[in-house]
Structure 1
């Protein structure tokens, strides 16, 4: 009797599982009906004129431009952040920590971490992007230099992140 009850307890869920999976395979959803012609709206986006940046490989569409490849005179932000900054005497004065963009998407400032060890005790200083010289080394890496000294950066005012919310919120 016990074995009969045990077999029933095992067989019942298995039968239900097989039955529902077979049922699920047999049903097909009905095709979605197209809305009547009177309800469909035919719209065409207004064409816009977009001028790609000089040297940028771009493909123009009705809604804007899409870049298809990085040009030789462009830099990816991920390649600049973390890059060492040197002065004209070839002394390392800091590392790029952040790129700060203005409302037009242009790089306004570069935040440089000065001093410290592995980010501890590091001072953040913002300099104008225009003050940096970025050159491409033979290996393709960025070589960033600026006309300053490590002492000048250490004595510069601390950079404070905007913390009232939105895109400028600090980590």
Structure 2
């Protein structure tokens, strides 16, 4: 009995690591042996936080908006710059997505970095709103609610017309 318990315990100990599977890939979970920490920013590197709020201007110097966000691809590279356009103090502002490659950097007033986009204010105003994955589902919900409201109004109108017709026919029958 004691030998059987020892064999079962040894089997469980050996099976433990095999059971620790990564549920996403189906492979054994592995931990890096060591992490190489980075002590300082290199000259060829930019911090994303530095770009948030950066003015975006056109080649004529007209302010188009400011950087509100950035979208990274799976390799960690910036693909889209999200520019806040219009509004006043953030109210009524919409986000417009622009490919990172469409922008150029230049030094603005007082050496502050600016991003230059070859577009007009009208181009950005007319551009579609950039929807994050979270906003896409909210946008769908909003559209469905709006459509439900439209259908409710149509149903009310149809009901009122039908009610009027029934009342008219009832009056004719009573005469």
TM-score, with structure 1 as normaliser: 0.54
| Unaligned runs of at least 5 residues, structure 2 | 1-31, 136-175
Map 1:33-48 onto structure 2 (within 5 A). none
Aligned residue pairs total 104
The structure where helix makes up a greater share of residues is: 2
SS in 2 for 1:69: coil
| Unaligned runs of at least 5 residues, structure 1 | 1-44, 48-63, 165-171
The one-character-per-residue Cα deviations of 1:110-136 (angstroms, maximum 9, x if unpaired) are: 100110001111111000011111235
Q: Which residue of structure 2 lines up, in the alignment, with residue 160 of structure 1?
A: 131
The one-character-per-residue Cα deviations of 1:44-87 (angstroms, maximum 9, x if unpaired) are: x669xxxxxxxxxxxxxxxx643322233322111101111000
Match of 1:79 among 47, 50, 71: 50
CA contact (8 A) 1:79 1:142 kept: no
TM-score, with structure 2 as normaliser: 0.53
Matched, 1:89 2:60: yes
Q: Which residue of structure 2 lines up, in the alignment, with residue 108 of structure 1?
A: 79
Q: Which residue of structure 1 lines up, in the alignment, with residue 114 of structure 2?
A: 143
Distance change (3 Å), C-alpha of 1:70 and 1:46: closer
Distance change (3 Å), C-alpha of 1:142 and 1:66: farther
The structure where strand makes up a greater share of residues is: 1
Q: Which residue of structure 1 lines up, in the alignment, with residue 91 of structure 2?
A: 120
| Structure 1 CA distance for aligned equivalents of residues 50 and 85 of structure 2 | 19
| Structure 2 CA distance for aligned equivalents of residues 115 and 90 of structure 1 | 16
| Structure 1 CA distance for aligned equivalents of residues 116 and 92 of structure 2 | 23
Note the aligned Cα RMSD (angstroms).
Answer: 2.3
| Structure 1 CA distance for aligned equivalents of residues 38 and 124 of structure 2 | 37
